Amino acid sequence: MTTNTTTQDATSGTTPGQSVLDARGVTMRFGGLTAVRNVDLQVNSGEIVGLIGPNGAGKTTFFNCLTGLYIPTEGEVRYKGQVLPPKSFKVTAAGVARTFQNIRLFANMTVLENVLVGRHTRTKEGLWSALLRGPGFHKAEAASRERAMELLEFVGLADKAEHLARNLPYGEQRKLEIARALASEPGLLLLDEPTAGMNPQETRATEELVFAIRDKGIAVLVIEHDMRFIFNLCDRVAVLVQGEKLVEGDSATVQGDERVVAAYLGEPFEDAPGKEEIAEVEAAEAHAEAHSDTTTDAAPEENDR
Ligand SMILES: Nc1ncnc2c1ncn2[C@@H]1O[C@H](COP(=O)(O)OP(=O)(O)OP(=O)(O)O)[C@@H](O)[C@H]1O
């Protein structure tokens, strides 16, 4: 796996900087609750874009709107200029793949079989061919297996191809999810919290894997709560708060934006003490402490009267 961070765009058929994802005015309402409100987001070829925000900000709902799991109440989502159909298998076939916040593998299938399932949108052999197992089927199956093994090699799981998915450690299950998503040969990969539950080494390895995916010409949009991961990785970061896009920019811009800090920590409440009041109280406490050292054995004054 390469960790070279330059953009080669070898497989996607797009030139760097060309629009891959163009979401405009996406709104998603559930009854009276507006989970996503009028969100615009673009991802260009060669980019890794981050989507962050506090719990319940609407990040996963937005992903679901992009991938056909939800039909947005308003707005439009285009992939390489074409409006995406509101059906998840058609979105995958169009070239947008994703992973899920909660791992969704076929636990009792092998690692290789899980990746082969991910290839179904790219195999042309029909039902009869599969049932009759004619020469066309065998050729297509061999090609699929070869590609699946390449992908397992790429994510570092080739030596576990015959293991059952459920027996993989957690971090490797997440890698397998990524390999399965890549099996549909996407031009855009959406990752929903890819490092959740990982230790720092696994997180670092995932960072390198995402760079390598980008270097293969696949644009990436990633939701993650691990800020160090996001700010190391992303060319651009968008911040969702209560369903709306609050800020978007490069890592330094987003990190330095007070509104982002406030959104994560919460706004100070109305009568919260200001800096001066806090300093006054601290000075008074320090004074009292200094005096208590010298007055402990002295005669009590007012209180004992
Ligand atoms: N199917 C649904 N029906 C009703 N409300 C929903 C549905 N899906 C999400 N919501 C609500 O929409 C809001 C946004 O949720 P969402 O899961 O998209 O947030 P999130 O930013 O991904 O949060 P987290 O970081 O915790 O995963 C929440 O208030 C949630 O309860």
Q: Which is higher by pLDDT, 294 or 59?
A: 59
* Same domain as 83, residue 6: yes
CATH of the domain at 243: 3.40.50.300
Which range of residues forms the domain containing residue 144?
Answer: 109-185
Q: Which residue has the tokens 């061999």?
A: 142
* Same domain as 30, residue 150: no
Q: Which is higher by pLDDT, 173 or 275?
A: 173
* Same domain as 244, residue 137: no
Instruction: Give a yes or no: residue 125 inside a domain.
Output: yes
Please say if the pLDDT value at position 58 is more than 90: yes
* Same domain as 149, residue 4: no
Q: What is the pLDDT of residue 101?
A: 84
Q: What is the pLDDT of residue 48?
A: 97
As for how many domains the chain has, the answer is 2
Phi-psi region of 143 (alpha: psi -120 to 50; beta: other; left: phi over 0): alpha
* Same domain as 80, residue 13: yes
Mean pLDDT value across residues 92-117: 91
* Nearest CA owner, ligand 1 atom 3: 30
User: Average model confidence (pLDDT) for the chain?
Assistant: 84
Mean pLDDT value across residues 79-87: 91
Q: What is the pLDDT of residue 296?
A: 40
* Nearest CA owner, ligand 1 atom 6: 30
* Same domain as 220, residue 238: yes
Ligand 1 atom at minimal distance to the Cα of residue 243? 14
Instruction: Give a yes or no: residue 61 inside a domain.
Output: yes
Q: What is the pLDDT of residue 127?
A: 54
pLDDT tens for each residue of 11-44: 445 566 789 999 999 999 999 999 999 999 999 9
Instruction: Give a yes or no: residue 132 inside a domain.
Output: yes
Task: Please tell me if the CB atom of residue 60 comes closer than 6 angstroms to any atom of ligand 1.
Answer: yes
Instruction: Give a yes or no: residue 71 inside a domain.
Output: yes
Please say if the pLDDT value at position 130 is more than 70: no
Q: List the single range of 75-89, 204-218, 252-266 with lowest mean pLDDT.
A: 252-266
* Same domain as 50, residue 19: yes
For residue 141, the number of C-alpha atoms closer than 13 Å in the C-beta half-sphere is 11
pLDDT band at 298 (very low <50, low <70, confident <90, very high): very low
* Same domain as 197, residue 167: no
Instruction: Give a yes or no: residue 269 inside a domain.
Output: yes
Mean pLDDT value across residues 105-122: 87
Instruction: Give a yes or no: residue 239 inside a domain.
Output: yes
Q: What is the pLDDT of residue 60?
A: 95
Instruction: Give a yes or no: residue 87 inside a domain.
Output: yes
pLDDT band at 87 (very low <50, low <70, confident <90, very high): confident
Backbone angles phi, psi at 137, to 5 degrees: -65, -45
Task: Please tell me if the CB atom of residue 30 comes closer than 6 angstroms to any atom of ligand 1.
Answer: yes
Instruction: Give a yes or no: residue 304 inside a domain.
Output: no
Q: What is the pLDDT of residue 11?
A: 46
* Same domain as 77, residue 212: yes
Phi-psi region of 153 (alpha: psi -120 to 50; beta: other; left: phi over 0): alpha
* Same domain as 196, residue 180: no
* Same domain as 36, residue 150: no
* Nearest CA owner, ligand 1 atom 10: 35
* Nearest CA owner, ligand 1 atom 18: 58
* Same domain as 2, residue 79: yes
pLDDT tens for each residue of 8-20: 344 445 566 789 9
Q: What is the pLDDT of residue 271?
A: 52
